[in-house]
Amino acid sequence: MIGGFLPRRKLKWAQSFKDAEKNEEYALSITDRGGTFLMIPVDHDAELLGIGRQWAMPEPDRKGWEALNADKQKLREMFTGDAETWSDFPRSILEAARDEPDDMWLVWPMYLLPKLDGWVSEHGRVVIIGDAAHTLIPAAAQGACQAVEDAWTLAKVFAQTGDVMKSLKRWQDERIRRVEQISQLSVQLMNMRLPPEEQAKLASDQLFPLTGSEEERFGRLDWLYAAEF
């Protein structure tokens, strides 16, 4: 992800910001020919917007990431270079971003934490939860949600009587299974932000299926919101 910040006043709304909200011209993401453009309010009144775009690229090492992040001119060129290929509104954002100061640009590499064998120590004296156990790609809005689920389900385990280690083992196995599902969903949703030509290079199970009616599409997420423990 390459991103930065842009004052809302520099955007060329068709009418006004309030009209844009009403007409759904204002959205957190805009999908267009160039992929998906993210536009997220930074403050309460959305006077400052965080803007971002996503790329598929060969993975550099840490020094390579640091060098790319330090090359603000290259980040600006990557971010705005194809502005003319986008439709009117996102193009106006990209064009406005060309005049923003160099220090606004940053690169955000997205990584999954390697899968751990377990989250519970041998004797059950240490349990890790949340990002310590399963850092997720920020595409499904589930990072904090799963940390809360970890804590809530773990509290239920400790409220039980009987063999604590057996209960912890069951908790660990069920939570790992669920987080693996959500991790896959995060990857699928992240890949949906890529331009069509990049999506075409991926296997079908690496993209979230958008076929069918709106009800069918939302129905594919029933498992996410109906979890039990």
- Which DSSP letter does residue 10 get? G
Amino acid 89: pLDDT? 80
pLDDT score of 223 more than 70 = yes
- Greater pLDDT, 45 or 204: 204
pLDDT score of 113 more than 70 = yes
* Other CB atoms within 10 A of residue 146 CB: 21
Global pTM?
A: 0.77
Q: Rounded CA gap, 148 and 138, in Å?
A: 16
136 and 217 in a single domain? The answer is: yes
Burial of 1 (0-12, 13-18, 19+ CB in 10 A): middle
Distance set, CA 162 to CA 118, 156, 165, 171 (Å): 21, 13, 9, 14
Rounded to the nearest integer, the mean pLDDT of the chain is 87
Amino acid 226: pLDDT? 83
142 and 46 in a single domain? The answer is: no
Amino acid 15: pLDDT? 60
153 and 94 in a single domain? The answer is: no
pLDDT score of 24 more than 80 = no
* C-beta of residue 195 within 8 angstroms of C-beta of residue 34: yes
For residue 185, the SS3 value is helix
**Chain segment 125-154, per-residue pLDDT in tens:** 999 999 999 989 888 889 999 999 999 999
- Greater pLDDT, 75 or 102: 75
- Greater pLDDT, 212 or 150: 150
97 and 181 in a single domain? The answer is: no
Amino acid 20: pLDDT? 66
* C-beta of residue 222 within 8 angstroms of C-beta of residue 204: no
Order the strands of the 35-41 sheet from edge to edge. 29-32, 35-41, 48-53, 2-7, 106-107
Q: Which of 24-33, 143-152, 153-162 has the highest mean pLDDT?
A: 143-152
Amino acid 214: pLDDT? 80
98 and 10 in a single domain? The answer is: yes
Burial of 226 (0-12, 13-18, 19+ CB in 10 A): exposed
Structure tokens at 99: 């005049």
**Chain segment 175-205, per-residue pLDDT in tens:** 999 999 999 999 999 888 888 888 899 998 9
92 and 166 in a single domain? The answer is: no
17: pLDDT confidence band, cut at 50, 70 and 90? low
**Chain segment 46-97, per-residue pLDDT in tens:** 788 899 988 878 899 999 999 999 999 999 999 999 888 888 888 888 898 9
Amino acid 195: pLDDT? 82
Question: Does any domain span residue 155?
Answer: yes
Question: Which residue, among 48, 21, 54, 52, has the nearest Cα to 39 in the 3D structure?
Answer: 52
Q: Could you list the residue range(s) of the whole structural domain that residue 77 is in? A: 2-107
Determine if residue 130 is left, alpha or beta; phi over 0 gives left, psi from -120 to 50 gives alpha, anything else beta. Answer: left
Question: Does any domain span residue 176?
Answer: yes
* C-beta of residue 59 within 8 angstroms of C-beta of residue 18: no
145 and 211 in a single domain? The answer is: yes
Name the least confident of 10-19, 96-105, 108-117: 10-19
Question: Does any domain span residue 46?
Answer: yes
Q: Which residues pair with 2 in a beta bridge?
A: 53, 107
* Other CB atoms within 10 A of residue 174 CB: 14
Last residue of a domain, one of 92, 107, 122: 107
The DSSP secondary structure of 159-173, one letter per residue, reads: TS-S-HHHHHHHHHH
User: Structural domain tally of the chain?
Assistant: 2
